[in-house]
Amino acid sequence: MPLDKLINYLKLDKQEFMFQFNSHPNYPSALAFSDTLNFMGVRNDAYELDKEYWDELPEEFIAIVDSNFSLVKKSGNQYSIYSDKAKTVNKDELHQQSTDFVLLFEKDPAINKSVTSYKPFLYAIFAVIALYSVLTLSWYEALFNLLSLSGVYISLEIFSQKFGNTSAVIGSICGDTAGNQAVNACNKIITQDKTSIWGLKFSDFSLIYFIGIAVLGLFLPATSFVLKGFTVASLLAIGYSLYIQGFIEKTFCRVCLLIISVLTVQLIISIFLFENMYFDVKTALLSITLWAILIFSVIYLNTTLEEKENLQKSNAKNLRFKRNYDVFKRELLENEKVQFTDNETFLVGNKNAKIHLSIISNPYCGFCKDAHKIMENLLRKYPDDISVQLRFNYTPDKQNEKFTHLISDFMYTYKNKTSEDFLNLVEYWFETKDEDKTRLKAGITSTQEDLSPLISLSAENKNAGLNFTPIILINGYQFPDKYDREDIYYFIDELTEDDDIV
C-alpha cells in the first residue's frame, strides 16, 4: 500500500511504520492504520462522517482517497492530497474519490521521528568525485565521470526498489501518473527481469557496471583503454535491453532508456575523445579485481537484504498473532487477580482512570529502569486513561541505611511536591544510581519520613507472591510472561474499552 507522501509529511520512519502496520492483527484495515499512527506518536480518532459535514473538519485530516489512506490539506476551495504522491483536487472531486472515513490526528511533539538515511553520505561522496573530476581532469573526462555518477544513482534507486522501497525519482522519470508504481512500465520491466547470472539481475549488473567505471574514471587518462573496452562492451547491454523492451515486454521503460542514453554518451566520449590508448597489464588486473569485488559484494548484499526482507515478513505475520488482543486478554485473565488494600501510596496519574497499573520494583534492580520508563511513557501518552502505582519492595530489617534514606527521599517528594517531581526524581535515580545526588536533587537535608505505608505495601506484595522485580499488573492481573513488557503499548487502547478488564 503506497503511503510515501503521507509518511514523509508526518515525519515518520517509513520502515518502522510499514513494519508495525503490516504486523497489526487487523492489517490492512482502518483500525490497523489508526493503531499504528497511535503507536508512532500520532494520536488520532476515526469517524464515519457524511460528506455534507466535511466542511466542518479541521484544515488537515486523513481520509481514504482512491482506496489509499491519504493526508488531506484544505486550502480555500482546493484540497491537497498526499499518499504515494501529491495532487490537488476541488471539493467535488475529493468527495467523489473518497469514502466517508475520516481520521483526525494530533502529532506528539515529544516523540522523535528522525529517520536515518544513506543518501547524505552518498551525496557527499558524489560531491567529492565530481569536484575532483572538474578540477583535475579534462572537460570530457569530467563529463564521463559525472555520467557515471548519474548511472550509479539511478541504479541504486532501482536496486532499492527491488526490496519494497518506492522511489520518487523512478516514479517521476517513469511518469507515475496513475499514482501506483507497481503497475507502470518501468516497474514491470524491472521486477519481471528474467536475467539470472549467479543470482544477479540485469539491474544488479547496471549498478556493478556504473560503480566500476566511476572508480576507474578517477584514474583517467591511465584507465582510458580499459574504460573504452567496457563502454564498447556496453553495446551488448544496450541491444539486450532494447530487445526486451521492444519485442518481449512490448513497452518502453523510461528509466531504462535514460540509462541507455548515459551509456551511449559515454561510448561516444570514449571512442572519439579518449586519446591515451595503451594497454597496461597492471591496470587490467586491477580492473578485473575491482569487478570481482563489486560482483561478490552485490551478491552478498542481495542475499543479506533478501534474508532480512523474508525475516521481516515472517516476523510481521507472527506479530499479527502475538498482537491479537483476544489472545493477549486470554493470557492476561489466566492469572489470578490480585487485590491490594493500599492503592494510594506512590500513586500517580488519574486516580479515577479505568486502567490502573501497578509496578512491583526495587530501586537497585537493574531491569526495573526500563519498566519504569514504560510506565512514564504511558502516563505521558494517556494522562486521562491510566494511573500507576509504584510498589517498591522494602523490608527495613533487611535493607541498609542508604536504601532507607533513598526511599525516604521518594516519600518526602511524593508527599510535598507534584507527581511530576516525584517521577522525575525516580527517573533521575535510575539514571545516576547515586543516593547523594538524588537527595541533593530532591532538596532534602536530613528529614526521615514515616515509611510504615511502604512497609505495609511491601508486605502485601510478599503475601501475593510478588517477590521478583519488575512485575507489571493491569487492574490486578499480572502482565503475561509470554509477552515482552514493551508489548503493553499495543493493548492500552483496547484495554480501556474492555468491560471485562475495567
Which residues belong to CATH 3.40.30.10 in the chain? 336-495
pLDDT of residue 367: 84
Sign of CA dihedral 416, 419, 421, 425: positive
**3-state SS, residue 148:** helix
Tell me how far apart the alpha carbons of residues 345 and 359 are, in angstroms, rounded to a whole number: 12
| 12-57 residue pLDDT tens | 777 778 777 877 777 778 888 888 887 777 877 788 888 888 888 8
For the domain covering 119-309, report its CATH number: 1.20.1440.130
pLDDT of residue 263: 94
Fold for 4-107, please state it.
Cathepsin B; Chain A (3.90.70)
pTM as predicted: 0.55
Tell me how far apart the alpha carbons of residues 41 and 479 are, in angstroms, rounded to a whole number: 23
The three cell numbers locating residue 9: 509529511
Please, which residues have CB within 8 angstroms of residue 457's CB and are 6 or more apart in sequence?
A: 340, 342, 345, 346, 391, 392
The three cell numbers locating residue 124: 557527499
Q: CA of 403: how far to CAs of 366, 389, 422, in Å?
A: 15, 19, 17
Which residue matches cell numbers 584507465? 223
- Divide the 502 residues of the chain into consecutive groups of 10 and give the mean pLDDT of each group: 70 77 78 81 81 84 86 84 79 88 71 55 90 93 94 87 67 56 56 70 86 92 89 90 80 86 94 80 87 90 82 70 84 89 90 92 87 91 90 77 87 91 92 90 79 88 87 92 87 86 76
Cα distance between the two ends of the chain: 36
Which residues belong to CATH 1.20.1440.130 in the chain? 119-309
Which residues belong to CATH 3.90.70.10 in the chain? 4-107
- Residue 242 and residue 260 in contact, taking contact as beta carbons nearer than 8 Å: yes
DSSP element (H, E) containing 147: helix 139-161
For 260-367, where are the E strands, in sequence order? Answer: 347-349, 355-361
- Return the exposure string of 241-269: e unless at least 16 CB atoms fall within 10 Å of the residue's CB, then b: beebbeeeeeeebebbebbbebbeebbeb
Tell me how far apart the alpha carbons of residues 486 and 389 are, in angstroms, rounded to a whole number: 18
**In the CATH scheme, what is the homologous superfamily, with its name and number, of domain 336-495?**
Glutaredoxin (3.40.30.10)
pLDDT of residue 192: 61
pLDDT of residue 175: 62
Tell me how far apart the alpha carbons of residues 350 and 63 are, in angstroms, rounded to a whole number: 33
pLDDT of residue 216: 92
Phi-psi region of 67 (alpha: psi -120 to 50; beta: other; left: phi over 0): left
Which residue matches cell numbers 527495613? 396
Query: For the chain, how are helix, strand and coil distributed in percent, rounded to 5?
Result: 55, 15, 30
Please, which residues have CB within 8 angstroms of residue 470's CB and are 6 or more apart in sequence?
A: 359, 360, 361, 365, 367, 368, 371, 372, 485
**3-state SS, residue 278:** coil
DSSP element (H, E) containing 315: helix 281-322
